[in-house]
Amino acid sequence: MFRHRKLFTAAGALAAVLMTVTFAPPAATAAPVGKVVGYFTEWGVYDRNYQVKNVETSGSAGKLTHINYAFGNVTNGQCAIGDTYAAYDKYYDAASSVDGVSDTWDNSALRGNFGQLKRLKAMHPGLKVIYSFGGWTWSSGFGQAAQNPAAFADSCYNLLHDPRWAGVFDGIDIDWEYPNACGLSCDTSGAAAYKNLMGALRSRFGGELVTSAITADGTSGGKIDAADYGGAAQYVDWYNVMTYDYFGAFDADGPTAPHSPLTSYDGIPIAGFYADAAIQKLKSKGVPPSKMLLGIGFYGRGWTGVTQAAPGGSATGAAPGKYEAGIEDYKLIKSRCPSNGTVAGTAYAFCGSEWWSYDTPSTIAGKIGYARDQGLGGAFVWELSGDTTNGELITAVSS
């Protein structure tokens, strides 16, 4: 329904130290990863049939610190709901409801995803929900919004605080792809526009959460250099750095390459297209590591017409996917084309004439170790419906 191209190792287990003393010291434990943020997509309740209830039954709700609800639209310089039916009108019976209680037909209580999220929060009092606006499809409206940041911020605040869904949202997330650069469309609002917009949001939202999903383009003169992410960092609680979708079958003939490399590697098609390059560049811009969350994709990207297992092979096009060519949820690709190699901290798989890359619990453990070593604020995932029914990947993130 929507296309969101994001520009978002083995486990570093702690070794037990054997000591020849008469007492056993306390066992060493790894520092917690910090925030664990998962995107829940508004449209996922349709073809994917991924409901808020699945966040609970998979065990994900107990492992998340925050849910990003994606996406709201940005139009006419304002925040707007994308799909009102899915958001607050869809009826859930007892069997499909997160808490086993059916909605009412008379609208006396909040329905739809908003109603389900409110119930989920009641079940997990520490869980926060953030409303994310923009994304790959709806970022074109940010240019107009940036012309009057205060008016935009006011519209967003009023939307999130509508009394009909009071208590659902704890803040706002801005997913502008990309300020003063090109995504689905090109923005020419200038390098200062992003900082100004985020400053207006902070002023209007006060102490509520203000976050933003941002590019992970670590190239010289690339998207990170196009906007003042360093200057805007003072206004955000954290950045979701979209360290995935670097490579994929949008380049139909290849070369095959992992879509979410953590580090560089010999033969990488574009220098600077890997997670660590983005993190280090953002640090150099003055973004505190604690305000950066590492992005992890719960899906694979793949090509067909490939004849070699190692990265760097030619292809003839996108491999088939259930919802979109060239993309497949982890829960489907893990058995359809099991990983048989790793490169740059992520996994890849070669089966028949298809070549895929995706993260596994093992490679996620390595990425979480990297996030901890870098002093990052945690990790976020795009998006929850790609995980297995028992939350295999989110468990690896939170562990």
Residues known to be catalytic: 177
Number of Cβ within 10 Å of residue 24's Cβ equals 7
Cα 130 from Cα 128, distance rounded (Å):
7
The bridge status of strand 171-175 relative to strand 128-134 is parallel
Beta-bridge partners for 350: 355
Cα 279 from Cα 264, distance rounded (Å):
13
Give the start-end residues of each E strand in 87-185.
128-134, 171-175
From 33, 38, 65, 37, select the one nearest 50 (Cα to Cα): 38
- Cβ within 8 Å of residue 381, ≥6 positions away: 36, 37, 38, 39, 295, 296, 297, 298, 387, 393, 394, 397
From 212, 203, 147, select the one nearest 177 (Cα to Cα): 212
Token pair, residue 398, equals 């939170």
Residue showing tokens 């003042």: 228
Radius of gyration of the chain (CA): 21
Token pair, residue 17, equals 């130290």
Q: Cis (ω within 30 of 0) for the bond into 370?
A: no
Cα 126 from Cα 145, distance rounded (Å):
32
